[in-house]
Amino acid sequence: MRALQKSLNTPTLSESSIVLVGLLLAIVGLTFRDTAGITSLLAAVGIGLVIAGTVYIAVEASEVVRLSLAFIALVAMPLLAYGGIVQWIGGLMIGTVVGGALYSRVSK
Protein backbone atom coordinates (compact mmCIF):
# COMPACT_ATOMS: atom_id res chain seq x y z
CA MET A 1 0.00 0.00 0.00
CA ARG A 2 2.84 2.36 0.85
CA ALA A 3 4.39 1.81 -2.59
CA LEU A 4 1.28 3.16 -4.30
CA GLN A 5 1.39 6.46 -2.42
CA LYS A 6 3.25 9.40 -3.89
CA SER A 7 6.64 10.06 -2.37
CA LEU A 8 7.08 13.44 -0.74
CA ASN A 9 10.76 13.50 -1.65
CA THR A 10 10.18 14.02 -5.38
CA PRO A 11 11.88 17.20 -6.57
CA THR A 12 9.56 19.89 -7.89
CA LEU A 13 10.27 22.94 -9.99
CA SER A 14 8.84 26.18 -8.61
CA GLU A 15 6.90 28.61 -10.77
CA SER A 16 9.55 31.30 -10.51
CA SER A 17 12.24 28.92 -11.74
CA ILE A 18 10.04 28.04 -14.72
CA VAL A 19 9.82 31.76 -15.58
CA LEU A 20 13.60 32.05 -15.17
CA VAL A 21 14.20 29.09 -17.50
CA GLY A 22 11.81 30.70 -20.00
CA LEU A 23 13.71 33.98 -19.83
CA LEU A 24 17.02 32.21 -20.42
CA LEU A 25 15.63 30.28 -23.39
CA ALA A 26 14.14 33.45 -24.87
CA ILE A 27 17.40 35.37 -24.46
CA VAL A 28 19.45 32.59 -26.04
CA GLY A 29 16.92 32.18 -28.86
CA LEU A 30 16.80 35.89 -29.63
CA THR A 31 20.54 36.47 -29.30
CA PHE A 32 21.94 33.69 -31.47
CA ARG A 33 20.84 32.78 -35.00
CA ASP A 34 21.22 29.57 -36.95
CA THR A 35 20.04 28.28 -40.28
CA ALA A 36 18.09 25.32 -38.89
CA GLY A 37 15.64 27.46 -36.94
CA ILE A 38 16.40 25.89 -33.58
CA THR A 39 17.03 29.24 -31.91
CA SER A 40 13.66 30.50 -33.13
CA LEU A 41 12.07 27.45 -31.52
CA LEU A 42 14.01 28.13 -28.29
CA ALA A 43 12.79 31.73 -28.28
CA ALA A 44 9.17 30.65 -28.83
CA VAL A 45 9.30 28.05 -26.05
CA GLY A 46 10.99 30.56 -23.75
CA ILE A 47 8.39 33.25 -24.39
CA GLY A 48 5.62 30.70 -23.83
CA LEU A 49 7.14 29.61 -20.51
CA VAL A 50 7.47 33.21 -19.38
CA ILE A 51 3.86 34.03 -20.26
CA ALA A 52 2.38 30.88 -18.75
CA GLY A 53 4.54 31.06 -15.62
CA THR A 54 3.79 34.73 -15.03
CA VAL A 55 0.06 34.22 -15.38
CA TYR A 56 0.21 31.14 -13.15
CA ILE A 57 2.05 33.12 -10.46
CA ALA A 58 -0.22 36.16 -10.74
CA VAL A 59 -3.50 34.29 -10.28
CA GLU A 60 -4.44 33.30 -6.74
CA ALA A 61 -7.26 30.85 -7.36
CA SER A 62 -7.82 27.12 -7.67
CA GLU A 63 -5.52 25.03 -9.84
CA VAL A 64 -8.09 24.73 -12.62
CA VAL A 65 -8.57 28.50 -12.87
CA ARG A 66 -4.83 29.14 -12.84
CA LEU A 67 -4.16 26.62 -15.61
CA SER A 68 -7.14 27.84 -17.66
CA LEU A 69 -5.99 31.45 -17.57
CA ALA A 70 -2.42 30.42 -18.43
CA PHE A 71 -3.72 28.46 -21.43
CA ILE A 72 -5.91 31.38 -22.56
CA ALA A 73 -2.89 33.69 -22.38
CA LEU A 74 -0.81 31.29 -24.48
CA VAL A 75 -3.53 31.10 -27.13
CA ALA A 76 -4.20 34.85 -27.13
CA MET A 77 -0.64 36.11 -27.54
CA PRO A 78 -0.13 34.88 -31.15
CA LEU A 79 -3.52 36.30 -32.12
CA LEU A 80 -2.23 39.80 -31.41
CA ALA A 81 0.17 39.47 -34.35
CA TYR A 82 -2.69 39.25 -36.85
CA GLY A 83 -4.84 42.14 -38.00
CA GLY A 84 -8.50 42.98 -37.91
CA ILE A 85 -11.04 41.05 -35.88
CA VAL A 86 -8.56 38.29 -34.94
CA GLN A 87 -6.38 40.88 -33.20
CA TRP A 88 -9.42 42.21 -31.33
CA ILE A 89 -10.32 38.68 -30.19
CA GLY A 90 -6.75 38.23 -28.90
CA GLY A 91 -7.00 41.54 -27.08
CA LEU A 92 -10.29 40.52 -25.47
CA MET A 93 -8.75 37.24 -24.38
CA ILE A 94 -5.80 39.05 -22.81
CA GLY A 95 -8.28 41.38 -21.10
CA THR A 96 -10.06 38.31 -19.74
CA VAL A 97 -6.79 36.96 -18.34
CA VAL A 98 -5.92 40.30 -16.72
CA GLY A 99 -9.45 40.66 -15.33
CA GLY A 100 -9.38 37.12 -13.95
CA ALA A 101 -5.99 37.70 -12.31
CA LEU A 102 -7.13 40.97 -10.76
CA TYR A 103 -10.41 39.46 -9.57
CA SER A 104 -8.61 36.52 -7.96
CA ARG A 105 -6.29 38.89 -6.09
CA VAL A 106 -9.02 41.30 -4.96
CA SER A 107 -11.46 38.60 -3.87
CA LYS A 108 -8.97 37.02 -1.43
pLDDT tens per residue, range 77-96: 889 889 899 999 999 999 99
For residue 68, give the nearest of 55, 77, 83 by alpha carbon.
Answer: 55
* Higher-pLDDT residue of 34, 64: 64
Q: What is the pLDDT of residues 6-58, one digit of tens each?
A: 555 666 778 888 899 999 999 998 898 888 888 888 888 999 999 999 999 99
Q: What is the pLDDT of residue 3?
A: 54
Tell me how far apart the alpha carbons of residues 9 and 45 are, in angstroms, rounded to a whole number: 28
Please report, in angstroms and rounded to a whole number, the separation of the first and last CA atoms in the chain: 38
Cα of 98 vs its chain's centroid, Å = 13
pLDDT for 74 beyond 80: yes
**Helical ranges in the chain per DSSP H:** 15-31, 38-58, 63-79, 85-106
pLDDT for 99 beyond 70: yes
Give yes or no for a contact between 108 and 87, defined as CB atoms under 8 angstroms apart.
no
- Give me the amino acid identity at 43: A
For residue 42, give the nearest of 53, 31, 55, 56 by alpha carbon.
Answer: 31
How confident is the model over 55-73, as a mean pLDDT?
A: 91
